[in-house]
Amino acid sequence: MFIKTLITEPILFFRIVLIVIFSITLHELAHGWAAMSQGDNTPQKTGHLTLNPLVHMGKESIIFLCFMGIAWGQMPVNPSNFRSPKVGNILVSAAGPLSNLALGILFILVLKFISNQSLTGLFSEEFIYLAARINLTLFLFNLLPIPPLDGFHVFSEIFPQLKPLQYSQFGIFAMMLLFIIPEFGTGLSDMTDLVIQSVLGGESAVS
């Protein structure tokens, strides 16, 4: 389990937990801001326009993150309030993954600027590389067209014939398969490493 990392590599453990909590919080806030822009004030009425990760993730998600390395968040929205339900649902659903993409790009740019400086401690070059890697992985993962992921809501608006899958066991079965197959997570990580190294042009030795 992921909690073993606390004993074997405590710095890595706290880095991952901190980055994931920060990234999920901004991911959910992006959903909320997008919903507000589409005419739905549900995120504001429910008190979810906050940087408090407990509001977005809950204690259960944070505990699960520390023990299993898996976490989730939620942002209450009401699509019936969107000015255009179809466009609004696409924009609101895509906002979360796009926030992770933006964070990933930002961390890569920071990494390029500090690559020639010697930083130590928790917020080192390795920390920033890991932050970029995690956010790009979250971006790719959440775009998968599998319920309840954001990608499903985007693709089901473009291809309405997918909508019935939202109320079937397909999503649960597919998610279980993804977490059971270790090559899936490795593949996503390899893809993000390739992207980061390509942008850095071999400037960073972090891996």
Annotation says 9 is catalytic: no
For the stretch 65-76, pLDDT in tens is: 999 999 999 999
The pTM of the full predicted model, rounded to 2 decimals, is: 0.91
Question: Which pLDDT belongs to residue 205?
Answer: 45
Question: Which pLDDT belongs to residue 119?
Answer: 57
User: Between these two residues, 24 and 190, which has the higher pLDDT value?
Assistant: 24
- At 154, the pLDDT band (50, 70, 90 cuts) reads very high
Question: Which pLDDT belongs to residue 207?
Answer: 45
State mean pLDDT over 92-98.
98
Query: What is the DSSP secondary-structure string of the chain?
Result: -GGGHHHH-HHHHHHHHHHHHHHHHHHHHHHHHHHHHTT--HHHHTT-SSS-HHHHHHHHHHHHHHHHS---------GGGSSSHHHHHHHHHHHHHHHHHHHHHHHHHHHHHHTTS---STTSHHHHHHHHHHHHHHHHHHTSS-TTSHHHHHHHHHSGGGGGGGGSSHHHHHHHHHHH-HHHHHHHHHHHHHHHHHHHTT-----
The torsion angle over the Cα atoms of residues 153, 158, 161 and 162, rounded to 10 degrees, is -30
The torsion angle over the Cα atoms of residues 99, 104, 106 and 109, rounded to 10 degrees, is -160
- At 181, the pLDDT band (50, 70, 90 cuts) reads confident
Sequence spans of domains, the chain = 2-200
User: Between these two residues, 101 and 116, which has the higher pLDDT value?
Assistant: 101
- At 186, the pLDDT band (50, 70, 90 cuts) reads confident
Distance between CA 96 and CA 91 in Å, rounded?
9
27 pLDDT more than 70? yes
